Chains A and B, each alone.
Chain A
């Protein structure tokens, strides 16, 4: 077996083990047998003799949370992988064009307007898309510069502007009800995911994921200098626009679901690249698998380490910082 297929098999095995563990562990432990019974009866719609709260925990509480962790992790890692290649820069994360800041502004505005959970999600999703749409339309009009640099700089500048809008809303918000809700949202969490939330976010995330998977080989060309990629027959403007649109859909759907969880989209692509090299055909699916497993593990720790839930963003940066520095030290020029 080649090292590459081993990397895939090992990741898939770890992912499966984590899924089983995530269903089993918690304040109300569930055995693998019970899990299998509930899932089997859910699939074939047959009755079982377990306590009803077992079924509720599996299907209503842990199931949506596990699926959300998998979806958000895969989406962030996939978008990060696409962006790092496209921007030819291993320090790029999915928020480089302002999707997270835009989503945060949308969510904060929805909280400020006292909208419900669905309103917050929709505003966050729309805010993420609008921010990237704005960055892209301004950045791609700045001709006569390196197109990638123009995009990144526009993203930074507009991101700062959106950040001030968030600060203003926090300043104006009701300090007893709204401000804690804003702070909680900005920290990110998978605790309050309901099955309905997933049903809304998943189609958008998949709508971004599928084109990236289809274009996975061609995306390699974006890692070349622009002139070369075009001379090899690629319409780089169009391909970049598709990649940005797909990555933005995925990230915005993920952020609307979970709030801002940093580091996944920055860290996971490196780990995957160390295992299978830079070819997107192999890299992208593996990065998505690792991202799903990583966020599932993080969320598992978040809800079991302490009596209160730890925000996943805090844990990812706690894990991410040393691992990132270590990856950098060992990988030298192999990104």
Chain B
């Protein structure tokens, strides 16, 4: 579905990262971990075709990403940005309907089928009750779910999510991760970034650790999320603890304590 080889990426005139290679399989969840400023968002923007690659290649279903027009990319990759307040009071349903853009012509207006897709996406995320509420007035968690619903209405096989759990309360974080698993069960591929390594343990098949724009490790979360790799990434000491049910979790040790 998506295959990147030796990718170098960055802004015009400034390369942020290089030597990134991986391929995504259908229905896989890949979690990207890395400290602030490590280049996660820039990598995602490059994979979405929003920034031109500085080297290497990105292939989407076999064709080079740069050669595809915007709406062709949008029909295959959905983007879930970090939740923002928005500028105008669009209703949640109107916001989700915008996910249909790539399926409409330039002069198109969403029709009955598009409305049904949007309503189905709202239902999948369990927020159909919010449909008529203004996007500017709902909570941060509800906005994040709305943006995921919009990406679902887009009917793309791959969803790229930039810190979908950032600024959410504990319950909403868990609910978003649950949705990711449900999506993967429907053969939708998910690429997401997070600041919490536990999220990778909870729902990802693979984790990609990025430090200063380079891949530090790529593999199953249990293999690559270790005390030493996390210390390299974040500069703090962490123990990985196995819980009674066979789950893994990270426990940081605060410096200066015995």
Q: What is A's interface to B at a CB cutoff of 8 Å? A: 85, 88-89, 143-144, 214-218, 220-221, 223-225, 227-228, 230-235, 273, 277-279, 281, 333-335
Cβ < 8 Å to A, chain B residues 80-122:
81, 84, 86-91, 94, 98-99, 101-102, 104, 106-110
| Complex interface: chain B residues within 8 A of A230 (CB) | 48-50, 70
B173 within 8 Å of A by Cβ?
A: no
Task: Report the Cα distance A333→B137, complex, angstroms.
Answer: 8
Contact B50 A218 (CB under 8 A): no
Size band of the interface chain B makes with A:
35 or more
Asked, given contacts A231-B79, A233-B75, whether A335 binds B101 with beta carbons under 8 Å apart, the answer is: no
Q: How far is the CB of A61 from chain B (nearest CB, A)?
A: 39
Q: How far is the CB of B121 from chain A (nearest CB, A)?
A: 14
Extra contacts besides A231-B79, A278-B94 (14): CB < 8 Å: A144-B12, A215-B106, A218-B107, A220-B90, A224-B98, A227-B81, A230-B50, A230-B70, A232-B74, A232-B154, A233-B73, A234-B101, A277-B94, A333-B137
Q: How far is the CB of A276 from chain B (nearest CB, A)?
A: 11
B134 within 8 Å of A by Cβ?
A: yes
Q: How far is the CB of B99 from chain A (nearest CB, A)?
A: 7
Q: What is B's interface to A at a CB cutoff of 8 Å? A: 11-13, 45, 48-50, 69-71, 73-75, 77-79, 81, 84, 86-91, 94, 98-99, 101-102, 104, 106-110, 134, 136-137, 150, 154
Q: How far is the CB of B9 from chain A (nearest CB, A)?
A: 15
Asked, given contacts A144-B12, A218-B101, whether A231 binds B50 with beta carbons under 8 Å apart, the answer is: yes
| Complex interface: chain B residues within 8 A of A227 (CB) | 45, 48, 50, 79, 81
Which residue of chain B has the shortest Cβ distance to A88 in the bound complex?
Answer: B87
Task: Report the Cα distance A228→B74, complex, angstroms.
Answer: 10
Task: Report the Cα distance A281→B50, complex, angstroms.
Answer: 27
Q: How far is the CB of A142 from chain B (nearest CB, A)?
A: 13
Contact B109 A217 (CB under 8 A): yes
Task: Report the Cα distance A210→B102, complex, angstroms.
Answer: 22
Contact A231 B137 (CB under 8 A): no
Which residue of chain B has the shortest Cβ distance to A211 in the bound complex?
Answer: B107
Task: Report the Cα distance A217→B108, complex, angstroms.
Answer: 7
| Complex interface: chain A residues within 8 A of B150 (CB) | 232
Task: Report the Cα distance A215→B109, complex, angstroms.
Answer: 9
Task: Report the Cα distance A335→B86, complex, angstroms.
Answer: 11
Contact B107 A278 (CB under 8 A): no
